[in-house]
Amino acid sequence: MSEIDINAGESDWTKENLQKLFTALKSAIPKCKTESVYTKGLKRVDWNKVAFPPFSPEACQKKWTEILSKMRKIRTLTEIIDEAEEKLSSTVSVHMMHPEFQKKPAPASAIFYKENWAKFQKRHPELSYGKLLKFVANKYRELPDEEKAQYVEKSKHASKEYTRQKVILKPPKRKRKVSADAPDEDEQRTKDAKSLPPKPPFNGYQLFCKEQLLSMAGVSNSRYVSVWAQRWRDLTESQRNEYSARCIELKRKYANELNEYLMTLDEEEQQRILNDNGIKRPKVQKHPKEVKLLTTLPGEPKMPPRSSNVLFCKNQMEVLKEEFPNANERFIKANQMWRGLSIKEKQFYKQQLVEQFKKYSLELQKWFKMLTAAEQADYLRKNPSKFQFLDAQKTKKNKREESFLSQPSDSEDEVIEISSSEEEEDSLGSSEEEEEEEEEGDIAFDLY
């Protein structure tokens, strides 16, 4: 936060008041969000708890927003508050680099630039800095692998030395304790995490990706998602359904084990563990229903998305492909655009969805008539929810479609059909923390 005057603004915001604000804000962050990106932590802050006389919750939030606008934000909320406190107490940065600490090692291409820059500059004095930079970059890319190897080796050696120095020179982390007898919060949290059952994947696709990790030898980390997406598309429908069924069973088992563990604790301890780990108490079915997975028969029309939000995002992700090549960034942008629409604009997409279901209903009726009596009976037995689209009289009234659109999806078809176009299986509909998870496009289980 260099070159920033955080005391600028209202005269009431003295240095002491700002320190109170930082302290109150830090204590208001839920423990499960202390290491999350700042946007997530900020959403969970209760400003009524942060406020202190003579400042209202709104005034505290406004002041923090002003401070935040002048700071770099690619850090956790806890780190940002720490930096603000440090700036308040001293104009000199406390994060001084150790005098013996080396600079972060350069990649192989940068080593090539450094060693050959003067030579190319002498040969081509007519080129500007930018053009010469591109010229040298192209020269490096054109090098055969055996010539590149020497620069790669130098980069690896520098990285090893950098890592070794980092371990030697890094100061030990200091932890605050109220007293010698006070429990360590980090140790307590680790102990809780070990006692909790492992969280299951969100859907069948994520279970598939998790199991694919062991077979990714030779594939670069940046290509994992696209490779998983292609492998998922190569599966048959019955194989995908098998993963979905296994995922549902894992969720049921997780719910039972979590509740069994919580029942061994008192009510206050249960609530503390749920809050600290950011989890909700799962509902356990005493007699779980048989898992029914929808199957699509040859020639069966494809059902439209079940909500106007999904319809809008699906369309926008196609439009934004060039501007946002990354599927997760594209999904986040599409959702932001949806939230920015007016009620009238959202109503337009709702009407579009109604029209799509009208068309789907007519196509389904036409296809259904081509089946034999036995096939029709079997189809209705396996897909009872489709009956509402096969009743021609009710379709004309356009009532059942609208009521259906208001119901939540009870299958994973929607996620798969929207996201199987590229590496987007983990983008639409696969978040467990509602809108929050949209800001982090990564898969919801630990990859490493």
pLDDT score recorded for residue 202: 85
pLDDT score recorded for residue 58: 92
Amino acid, res. 331: F
pLDDT score recorded for residue 187: 56
Amino acid, res. 136: V
pTM (predicted TM-score): 0.35
Six token digits for residue 104: 């972060």
Rounded distance between C-alpha atoms, residue 84 and residue 18, angstroms: 9
Rounded distance between C-alpha atoms, residue 227 and residue 234, angstroms: 11
Six token digits for residue 163: 């890592």
3-state DSSP assignment of residue 110? helix
pLDDT score recorded for residue 395: 47
* Residue ranges of the chain with per-residue pLDDT less than 70: 1-11, 33, 72-76, 89-102, 168-194, 284-296, 392-448
Helix, strand, coil share (%) of the chain residues, nearest 5 = 60, 0, 40
Rounded distance between C-alpha atoms, residue 87 and residue 80, angstroms: 11
Contacts of 202 (CB under 8 A, 6+ apart): 247, 430, 431, 432, 444
Measuring CA to CA, how many Å separate 64 from each of 13, 19, 88, 125?
11, 12, 14, 51
pLDDT score recorded for residue 447: 31
Query: Which DSSP string do the residues of 146-210 spell out, in sequence order?
Result: HHHHHHHHHHHHHHHHHHHHHHHHPPPPP---SSTTSPPHHHHHHHHHHHSPPPPPSSHHHHHHH
Rounded distance between C-alpha atoms, residue 202 and residue 446, angstroms: 12
Q: Which residue has the tokens 């997530």?
A: 40
pLDDT score recorded for residue 262: 85
Rounded distance between C-alpha atoms, residue 8 and residue 342, angstroms: 36
Radius of gyration of the chain (CA): 28
Six token digits for residue 169: 């020179």
Rounded distance between C-alpha atoms, residue 61 and residue 69, angstroms: 12
Q: Give the closest residue to 427 by CA, choosing from 288, 281, 316.
A: 316
pLDDT score recorded for residue 120: 86
Rounded distance between C-alpha atoms, residue 318 and residue 444, angstroms: 24
